[in-house]
């Protein structure tokens, strides 16, 4: 039974009371807003009523004038422009937005998505050679390019200019491009640093539109694709991202891009679209294209001119996603068996598993799945040509990239960041790499980080759970990093005797506090059911959910964890 750390955030009484005086809403809501840096009436107004007019001026971004000028030149002299992007959701939505926008002003245009396995991540030599062979003289790279100094220099020798739109952290040496749009550049004074790749491309579109007498509507029609990228790329749901995601969701519900509409149809989403539908239903289907096959069709779906054409490509993505789910489920089962067979591995501080036949496209997902079972930094490797290659995922708070860097003598290549990484190595180095990785992790990780943490926003009582309270929580959407759906704790509640195990692994709760009774669901919690049967008071950690049954709506607890009250 997994034990979890409960971390209840402290409440700033003074600022909470001041905000409550200003807003006249439930003090619990005010305490959560204050924790999230929203502590004045004006900040709350901006938060609850995000306005597109509050988006920053795109011209504040370093090199924006150079980028716009180069595109105007290309359009005026009818140069061939290639829109180039990565194979994930952020990359494919970026390319779809930029390609569709440029089509309004220019016809000499194509797009290029590198193949995940043949070309790898980001700007590729094959992509530049394609541009050269087909007489493209300008490449606009989206969600990649900031680390491609050598390849962009190579393109220059072929007479190809680059405009880089990226949001990844730049190295000391940046490419010699015509323009680099990236708010994370040291000398870029753009006020918001957390845009995704599609967000950076969107700022370029914003700056270009008036130059070609296009209206705001010609820019805002891409907001639903942008919201999909923001949701999928797990960037902070603050500032401009919040404004764009808020209005993008609105567009997805009122007048969606044909590709999003087709995916909504195939995933059986009949009612209103929320941010988690983008994360769990739309994004995996788009990502599956690049994982299982070729991500070009994701762009073709987004830029489709008819609903039938969009549906044609959406069905391919849907089928890729079905294959992806099957592969990820089979490999996860095999990996779990492998860990159980090697008894010594179960007591380790890290996991590294390897099988030659595993599908390269899902090893990152499998690493995340294994962390759900064994909460520790995890690497999943498979065979790729003559080498082993794979993906790593971390637990929150542990710097995975540093740990892998410390094992570099066993690796041919590696890259990544704090929470996720990839690597390639000789097949005969796998065992040595496993031992070295374990040595590094076990000697550097804080033991606390190996226990899952639940961050609790506030303690409430069952009588606080009302529709008005829930409706204000709903107005805090869209949720995402730095604005997560609030998590609550309620203390000293009693089981009513009606709680039960459903489908062998979940608990259907029925609990009472004072004279208030409420139901809830705890997924995968059956092993803790015995605690409820002790008929002692329990503390429950949960999110508040809406439940609909036979046309009747009620509020319920989505239980995350529970334990005996102290």
- Say yes or no: 196 and 297 in one domain: yes
- From the CB of residue 526, how many other CB atoms can be counted at a distance below 10 Å? 16
pLDDT confidence of residue 121? 80
Question: What CATH number does the domain containing 548 carry?
Answer: 2.40.50.460
- Say yes or no: 511 and 431 in one domain: no
- Say yes or no: 223 and 251 in one domain: yes
Within-domain flag for 325: no
- Say yes or no: 118 and 197 in one domain: yes
Within-domain flag for 38: no
First to last CA, the chain: 19
Would you write out the chain's pLDDT as a tens digit for each of its 566 residues? Answer: 578 999 999 999 999 999 999 999 999 999 999 999 999 999 999 999 999 999 999 999 999 999 999 999 999 999 999 999 999 999 999 999 999 999 999 999 999 999 988 888 889 999 999 999 999 999 999 999 999 999 999 999 999 999 999 999 898 999 999 999 999 999 999 999 999 999 999 999 999 999 999 999 999 999 999 999 999 988 999 999 999 999 999 999 999 999 999 999 998 876 788 898 888 888 999 999 999 989 999 999 999 999 999 999 999 999 999 999 999 999 999 999 999 999 889 889 999 999 999 999 899 999 999 999 999 999 999 999 999 999 999 999 999 999 999 999 999 998 888 889 999 999 999 999 999 999 999 999 999 999 999 999 999 999 999 999 999 999 999 999 999 999 999 999 999 999 999 999 999 999 999 999 999 999 999 999 999 999 999 999 999 999 888 889 999 999 999 999 99
Rounded Cα distance, 274 and 243, in Å: 15
DSSP per position, 482-527: TBPPP-EEEEEEEE-S--EEETTTEEEEEEEETTEEEEEEETT-GG
Question: What CATH number does the domain containing 151 carry?
Answer: 3.90.1640.30
Length of the chain: 566
- Say yes or no: 363 and 491 in one domain: no
Within-domain flag for 488: yes
Predicted TM-score of the model (pTM): 0.93
- Say yes or no: 310 and 356 in one domain: no
Within-domain flag for 547: yes
- Say yes or no: 179 and 108 in one domain: yes
Within-domain flag for 529: yes
- Say yes or no: 148 and 198 in one domain: yes
Domain boundary, last residue among 319, 350, 377: 319
Question: What CATH number does the domain containing 418 carry?
Answer: 3.10.310.30
Tokens linked to 457? 């926003």
Whether 485 contacts 239, CB under 8 Å:
no
Within-domain flag for 408: yes
- Say yes or no: 105 and 252 in one domain: yes
Domain boundary, last residue among 255, 287, 319: 319
Whether 163 contacts 141, CB under 8 Å:
yes
Domain around 558: 6-10+454-564
- Say yes or no: 472 and 429 in one domain: no
- Say yes or no: 309 and 397 in one domain: no
Q: How many domains does the chain have?
A: 3
Q: What is the largest CA-CA distance in the chain?
A: 79
DSSP per position, 335-375: HHHHHHHSGGGGGSSSEEEE-TTS-GGGHHHHHHHHHHHS-
Within-domain flag for 538: yes
Residue carrying the six token digits 């005797």: 497
- Say yes or no: 414 and 471 in one domain: no
Within-domain flag for 337: no
pLDDT confidence of residue 1? 59
Rounded Cα distance, 22 and 197, in Å: 37
Domain boundary, last residue among 401, 422, 450: 450
């Amino acid at each position: 039974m997994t034990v979890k750390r409960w971390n209840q955030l402290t409440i700033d009484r003074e600022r909470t009371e001041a905000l409550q005086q200003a807003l006249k809403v439930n003090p619990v809501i005010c305490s959560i807003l204050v924790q999230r840096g929203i502590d004045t009436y004006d900040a709350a107004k901006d938060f609850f009523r995000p306005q597109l007019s509050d988006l920053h001026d795109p011209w504040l971004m370093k090199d924006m004038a150079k980028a716009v000028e180069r595109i105007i030149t290309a359009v005026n002299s009818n140069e061939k422009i290639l829109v180039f992007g990565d194979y994930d959701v952020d990359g494919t939505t970026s390319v779809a937005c930029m390609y569709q926008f440029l089509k309004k002003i220019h016809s000499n245009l194509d797009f290029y998505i590198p193949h995940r396995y043949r070309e790898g991540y980001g700007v590729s030599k094959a992509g530049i050679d394609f541009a050269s062979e087909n007489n493209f003289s300008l490449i606009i790279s989206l969600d990649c390019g900031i680390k491609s100094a050598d390849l962009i220099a190579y393109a220059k020798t072929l007479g190809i200019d680059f405009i880089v739109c990226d949001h990844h952290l730049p190295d000391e040496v940046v490419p010699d491009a015509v323009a680099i749009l990236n708010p994370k550049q040291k000398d870029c004074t753009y006020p918001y640093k957390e845009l995704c790749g599609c967000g950076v491309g969107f700022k370029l579109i914003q700056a270009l539109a008036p130059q070609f007498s296009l209206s705001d509507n010609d820019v805002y029609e891409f907001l639903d694709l942008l919201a999909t990228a923001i949701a999928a790329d797990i960037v902070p749901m603050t500032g401009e991202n919040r404004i764009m995601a808020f209005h993008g969701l609105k567009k997805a519900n009122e007048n969606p891009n044909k590709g999003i509409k087709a995916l909504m149809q195939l995933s059986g989403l009949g009612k209103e679209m929320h941010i988690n539908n983008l994360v769990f239903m739309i994004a995996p289907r788009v990502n599956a294209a690049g994982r299982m096959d070729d991500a070009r069709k994701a762009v073709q779906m987004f830029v489709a001119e008819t609903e039938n054409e969009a549906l044609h490509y959406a069905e391919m993505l849907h089928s890729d996603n079905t294959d992806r789910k099957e592969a990820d489920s089979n490999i996860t089962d095999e990996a779990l068996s492998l860990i159980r067979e090697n008894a010594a591995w179960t007591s380790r501080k890290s996991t590294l598993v390897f099988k030659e036949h595993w599908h390269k496209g899902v090893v990152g997902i499998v690493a995340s799945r294994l962390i759900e079972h064994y909460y520790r930094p995890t690497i999943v490797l498979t065979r790729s040509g003559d080498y082993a290659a794979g993906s790593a995922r971390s637990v929150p708070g542990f710097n995975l990239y540093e740990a892998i860097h410390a094992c570099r003598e066993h690796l041919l290549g590696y890259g990544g960041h704090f929470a996720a990484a990839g690597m390639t190595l000789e097949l005969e180095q796998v065992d040595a790499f496993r031992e070295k990785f374990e040595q590094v992790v076990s000697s550097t990780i804080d033991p606390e980080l190996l226990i899952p943490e639940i961050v609790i926003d506030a303690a409430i009582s069952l009588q606080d759970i009302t529709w008005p309270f829930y409706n204000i929580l709903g107005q805090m959407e869209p949720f995402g990093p730095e604005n997560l759906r609030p998590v609550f704790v309620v203390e000293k509640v009693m089981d009513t005797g009606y709680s039960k195990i459903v489908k062998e692994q979940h608990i259907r709760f029925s609990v009472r506090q004072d004279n208030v009774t409420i139901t809830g669901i705890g997924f995968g919690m059956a092993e803790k059911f015995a605690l409820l049967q002790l008929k002692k008071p329990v503390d429950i950690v949960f999110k508040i959910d809406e439940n609909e049954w036979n046309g009747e709506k009620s509020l319920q607890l989505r239980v995350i964890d529970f334990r005996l009250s102290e």
